[in-house]
Structure 1
Amino acid sequence: MDAQTEHPAEAVRKSPEATGAVPAIFRKGPSSVEFKKLRKRLLRQTREAITDYGMAPVVDSGTARPKWLVCLSGGKDSYCLLVTLMELKWRGLLEVDLIACNLDQAQPGFPPEVLPKWFADNEIENVIVREDTYSIVTDKIPAHRTYCSLCSRLRRGILYRIAREQGCEAIVLGHHREDILETFFMNLFHGGRLASMPPKLVNDDGDLLVLRPLAYCAEADIAKFARGMEFPIIPCNLCGSQDGLQRDEVKQMLQGWEKASPGRLGIMARALGNTRPSHLMDRALYDFMHLRPGSTESGTGVGVGEAEEPCAASLGMTANLFAAE
């Protein structure tokens, strides 16, 4: 089995330390068994997401390798993303060239020397662009309102431009499992729709991919990894300084659920990839109008004839009832 078809769980079984010379970035971090397991888990989950959603391009022999623009904000998530992708590439499991990109948005207190030094110390190809989006955001949005929406739109547009200038086919973002779940509940509670951030999409202009390889990775694991690797974290002092954000409320809600029932967030994340259109209420997604007894086809071509499934909560309560007898 070659490197392209090898199962993700098999591909990360051997440590880099056992295979020869190791890049400097991989020699950092604790040598404990627990940390090695954490690192392998993040590596495996990242490769699984890349495989499941067809993120990695098929590279023909004799052609130039595609480039990915890996967006590095200086936060724990983007550091973890970049280092994990670097290791996959080093192992021969990711046939792309990586360019780390930091967008300096001219926020007060941003330390401009941190990332250039980190890139240089670890011999990482990079591009740093300074664009004063901070002044635009603070001028357009009142201080008591959240900046995230406008800030992200401006940032995304600049990153698209940089990706095109660098000849990249994709921009790669560090959103993890909890980010995706939080966005789902934000849309549910405040947007009136069932939607989140997909692991892979094409931009509106149709010329670039947007990838989220950490879609399966838990935030707690990423935080532990970042602490172990001692990444030079740069906090966001723009939106991060505003209290009472709706996303913060959703985050606290999810953390409360996970604390009360460990493993619940993993189940919820799997649910996003296991939908039943015929068991929802979206008439554009499922042809309820033409659904009749004995029908075998749907105008939308999905799901007709699915048996009604019992509620999981009802099944659980029934099992508990009989178990008590």
Structure 2
Amino acid sequence: MAKWGKLSFAQKKCVSTVGMLMQKTEMVKDGDRIGIAVSGGVDSFVLIRTMLIRQAIIPFNIELMVLHVNPGFIPDSHYPLSDWCRENGIASHIELTDYGPRAHGPENKKKSACFYCSRLRRKRLFELCDQYNLTHLALGHTADDLVTTFHMNMLQNGRVQGLSANESFFKGKLQVIRPTLMLEKKYIKAAARQWELPIWSNKCPSNDNTKRSEINNWLEDEWRKMPGSRNNTFNALRRWQLDLNMKTS
């Protein structure tokens, strides 16, 4: 038996779906150094666990490193992540910032708090990738995020745009990848419970009070009116986004 033990259906779904996307989009190659952006939520924690298994399966060498930028609402919230990384032998860079309070304070008067905070955290993650000479930054976006983002772009911005599984930044110096982009959150939640991952709750005051959550709730209401429409929406957008990435990979 492999060192990670027998996998449940949900855990196998996570490992196989991530592997499929990595292979079809040629996401990584021998010698790549991948920083995994971890918020402490269920999506990014399952991404770490899954990537560790994929690292052992793939027939070439890649390096993994956890990157966590604590937004500052609860200064010690990342302690379980520090312990977990140490116990599982994965390198990590974990730091405390004041990005969250700043985004909700007088410094930010024009942008939404979520936009401002995420911009600061993304900038810091890019800096860390450069500091540690990482070739990839892995984000834990899911199929659910793809569906919601697509509708946000269409309804708010008049654009047909989703989330790329593999895109280049800084003239090719860094690849931003989303290995869980084809994976539905229901499998991620089940796998996280079964792996007993030390996930902590989001204490941001804007949590569940954003345009994203509003559009997601609207979609759920519409799907309830038409049986099968949820699966059709997910399958259509996954095929569309995968086709785009396969053409540009």
TM-score normalized by the length of structure 2: 0.86
Instruction: Provide the C-alpha distance between the structure 1 equivalents of 2:146 and 2:128, rounded to a whole number of angstroms.
Output: 25
Q: Does 1:252 align with 2:224?
A: no
Give the superposed CA RMSD: 2.5
Q: Is the 8 A contact 1:69 1:101 kept in 2?
A: yes
Q: Is the 8 A contact 1:258 1:265 kept in 2?
A: no
Distance 1:38 1:116, change over 3 A: same
* Counterpart position of 2:71: 105
Gaps of 5+ in 1: 1-17, 60-64, 277-325
Distance 1:46 1:94, change over 3 A: farther
Matching residue within 3, 8, 15 for 1:43: 15
After TM superposition, give the deviation of residue 68 of structure 1 in Å: 0.4
Distance 1:204 1:166, change over 3 A: closer
Q: Is the 8 A contact 1:71 1:101 kept in 2?
A: yes
* Counterpart position of 2:141: 175
Instruction: Provide the C-alpha distance between the structure 2 equivalents of 1:240 and 1:44, rounded to a whole number of angstroms.
Output: 34
Instruction: Provide the C-alpha distance between the structure 1 equivalents of 2:60 and 2:223, rounded to a whole number of angstroms.
Output: 33
* Counterpart position of 2:98: 132
Q: Is the 8 A contact 2:152 2:212 kept in 1?
A: yes
Instruction: Provide the C-alpha distance between the structure 2 equivalents of 1:274 and 1:109, rounded to a whole number of angstroms.
Output: 38
Matching residue within 236, 240, 245 for 1:268: 236
Instruction: Provide the C-alpha distance between the structure 2 equivalents of 1:240 and 1:225, rounded to a whole number of angstroms.
Output: 27
After TM superposition, give the deviation of residue 137 of structure 1 in Å: 1.0
After TM superposition, give the deviation of residue 52 of structure 1 in Å: 1.6
Q: Is the 8 A contact 1:66 1:169 kept in 2?
A: yes
Instruction: Provide the C-alpha distance between the structure 2 equivalents of 1:274 and 1:94, rounded to a whole number of angstroms.
Output: 24
Distance 1:194 1:83, change over 3 A: same
Distance 1:106 1:117, change over 3 A: same
After TM superposition, give the deviation of residue 123 of structure 1 in Å: 2.1
Q: Please give the secondary structure, in 2, of the residue aligned with 1:70.
A: strand
Q: Is the 8 A contact 1:254 1:265 kept in 2?
A: no
Instruction: Provide the C-alpha distance between the structure 2 equivalents of 1:271 and 1:45, rounded to a whole number of angstroms.
Output: 13
Instruction: Provide the C-alpha distance between the structure 2 equivalents of 1:216 and 1:39, rounded to a whole number of angstroms.
Output: 14
Q: Is the 8 A contact 2:33 2:62 kept in 1?
A: yes
Q: Does 1:55 align with 2:50?
A: no
Specify the structure having the higher radius of gyration (Cα): 1
Instruction: Provide the C-alpha distance between the structure 2 equivalents of 1:237 and 1:67, rounded to a whole number of angstroms.
Output: 31
Q: Does 1:233 align with 2:187?
A: no
After TM superposition, give the deviation of residue 230 of structure 1 in Å: 1.7
Q: Is the 8 A contact 2:43 2:140 kept in 1?
A: yes
After TM superposition, give the deviation of residue 165 of structure 1 in Å: 1.0
Greater mean alpha carbon deviation, residues 159-168 or residues 122-131:
122-131
After TM superposition, give the deviation of residue 90 of structure 1 in Å: 1.2
1:203-218 equivalent positions in 2, closer than 5 A: 203-204=169-170, 206-218=172-184
Q: Is the 8 A contact 1:56 1:94 kept in 2?
A: no
Q: Does 1:156 align with 2:122?
A: yes
* Counterpart position of 2:160: 194
Instruction: Provide the C-alpha distance between the structure 2 equivalents of 1:268 and 1:257, rounded to a whole number of angstroms.
Output: 16
Q: Please give the secondary structure, in 1, of the residue aligned with 2:104.
A: helix
Aligned length: 240
Greater mean alpha carbon deviation, residues 247-256 or residues 113-122:
247-256
After TM superposition, give the deviation of residue 254 of structure 1 in Å: 3.2
After superposition, what is the alpha-carbon deviation per residue over 1:229-249, rounded to whole angstroms, capped at 9, x for unaligned?
A: 121112222265352x22112
Higher-helix-fraction structure: 2
After TM superposition, give the deviation of residue 158 of structure 1 in Å: 0.4
After superposition, what is the alpha-carbon deviation per residue over 1:268-296, rounded to whole angstroms, capped at 9, x for unaligned?
A: 323523889xxxxxxxxxxxxxxxxxxxx
* Counterpart position of 1:115: 81
Report the residue type matching 1:130 in the other structure: L
Q: Please give the secondary structure, in 1, of the residue aligned with 2:164.
A: coil
Matching residue within 76, 83, 87 for 2:53: 87
Instruction: Provide the C-alpha distance between the structure 2 equivalents of 1:274 and 1:47, rounded to a whole number of angstroms.
Output: 13
Instruction: Provide the C-alpha distance between the structure 2 equivalents of 1:131 and 1:187, rounded to a whole number of angstroms.
Output: 30
Q: Please give the secondary structure, in 1, of the residue aligned with 2:122.
A: helix
After superposition, what is the alpha-carbon deviation per residue over 1:43-71, rounded to whole angstroms, capped at 9, x for unaligned?
A: 111011111212112x3xxxxx2210011
After TM superposition, give the deviation of residue 136 of structure 1 in Å: 2.4
Distance 1:96 1:275, change over 3 A: closer
Q: Is the 8 A contact 2:166 2:175 kept in 1?
A: yes
